[in-house]
Amino acid sequence: MARRRFEDVCVGEEVKARPFRLRRVDLIRYAGASGDFNVIHWNERVARSVGLPGVVAHGMLTMAVAGRLASDWAGDPGAVVGYGAKFTRPVPVPDDDDGAVLEVGGVVAVLDEQARTARVDLTVTVEGVKVLGKAQATIRLA
């Protein structure tokens, strides 16, 4: 994969939207890999007892998966110099084969010529509802 060049990018450019599916097994796998074993991400009984509709995805998993749109566009995951998001809505992941589908799109919002960086603003929705706020990745371009 080649790194994207600063000269090839313009403000307003769209990063083609893609769906990312999350199933229960993905939550278990992320819990193990990250060390985040918060019970609401794998135990339906506990999730409901604290007022959630059921088991929900780790906010950090949603953020990481959405960030792939930006790092794939950059052509280098090490080119992401900044990445932030607000967790505005929980993402319930039902106990079935379909799970939940994140729709992730992006747009180049800011270019910094001196730093040769682009800020990509991500839109992350589930069934049309935004689940992340101010999801912004800053990419150092070649």
Residues in contact with another protein by CB under 8 A are 1, 3, 20, 26, 29-30, 32-36, 50, 59-61, 63-65, 67-68, 71-72, 75-87, 137
Nearer to another protein, 12 or 136 (CB): 136
Nearer to another protein, 30 or 55 (CB): 30
SS3 readout for 6-57: HHHCCCCCEEEEEEEEECHHHHHHHHHHHCCCCHHHCCHHHHHHCCCCCCEC
Query: How far apart are the C-alpha atoms of 76 and 136, rounded to whole Å?
Result: 16
Q: CB of residue 33 vs another protein: minimum separation in angstroms?
A: 4
Q: Are 51 and 87 in contact (CB under 8 A)?
A: no
Which pairing describes strands 14-22 and 117-126: parallel, antiparallel, or unpaired? Answer: unpaired
Nearer to another protein, 73 or 108 (CB): 73
Q: CB of residue 132 vs another protein: minimum separation in angstroms?
A: 10
Q: CB of residue 88 vs another protein: minimum separation in angstroms?
A: 9
Nearer to another protein, 12 or 78 (CB): 78
Q: CB of residue 14 vs another protein: minimum separation in angstroms?
A: 21
DSSP state of 2: P
Q: CB of residue 40 vs another protein: minimum separation in angstroms?
A: 10
Q: Are 89 and 127 in contact (CB under 8 A)?
A: no
Q: Are 4 and 73 in contact (CB under 8 A)?
A: yes
Nearer to another protein, 11 or 77 (CB): 77
